[in-house]
Structure 1
Amino acid sequence: MREAVAHCVKTLSGVPSAQWRVPAGDLEWTCWETLEHLADDLLTYALRFGLAKPMDVRRVPLRLSRDREDGPENVIFGDAAAGPDGLLTVVEACGGLLATVVDHASPTVLAPHVFGASDPEGFAAMGVVETLVHTYDIARGVQRDGAPPEQLSRRVLVRLFPDVDIADDASSTLLWATGRIGTPERPRRSAWRWYGAPRGSR
């Protein structure tokens, strides 16, 4: 998780403020909104394992809001006065919190997710996927190279995408698996999901 966040910060640090208002790749959200959404994902994943009985609480009941009608619905937002590097600090903090929480959670505890209950390892992998693909989305918007690191991509593909065969390289396979790119051999996915169920229950 920390390696994925470090990749995000390295890729996106120093991007001028004006560029953060453009769409993030093919998303309807701006680059700024997409990074806020990423921070929000990482935080809410971490909060699940702060509960004594995570499976008893479908969602930690924080108030959700949007900055605009078509923007993401979040519980946290970056301080615009701190600029893009300030928002990257928020992402780093949320990613570090998730990493710390899953490191210390019982490996057998489960928490709910829309795609089915998962364990700390699964939520860490989900956080890595969110970080890699949204970094890629934003990098497209700000015209930087946001290709996901190969080894991280391979690890999350093995953990969360048992239905996907790795073709060519893991980085491009992850982008294909999450609907970001297509190839002549594998058309772009219009719908996709991951499988977070603990390894032993598959």
Structure 2
Amino acid sequence: MDVTSHLRTALDAAIALANGFGAAWTRGRARVSGDREHDRETASSALLLATWRVPSIEDRALDGVAEVGAALYRALGELAGGDEDAAAATVNGLLRRADAAPTLTRHGDEPWHLHFAAPGADPVLAWLADLVTAVAMLLGSTEVTRLRGCAAQRCDRFFLDATRGRTQRFCSTACQNRTKVAAFRARSRADER
């Protein structure tokens, strides 16, 4: 997969959106559910990765964003688990839902680049189309093996392994440190016995 900066930011945003609405645990903390403002912040933070400006997300749109995020999480889980057929079915459904339609776009003096929603589309739907398409492009590439689930206990986040040797096990330094501290404490308790 030839990763352009636009595609990479869309993929990072898609994974952040999926983790925000699908992961039961994030870095040792249980997901907050049912809190509209927390959900709005989760959606805004993910979309901010793909754009410099985040639209105001109405309650009606927020429900759709949360559903897409949860479905993307399911697709990432299917991909990480090796079930590409199930992931493709999930992503195809999301592509239809987002009305993804490739369109060359240019903002000011920027170079032409691909967006995946028609000009004039609802901004939230347009960004969702970009995010879902980025996951679809990951699915159809050899880079799909870089998709991993965090190895830390009480963290269900997905991430793309950015290491050259493909050895990354944790989504963040925080999860890596929590795991090391837990292992140290377990060894210390075993030594005391």
Greater C-alpha Rg: 2
More strand by share: 2
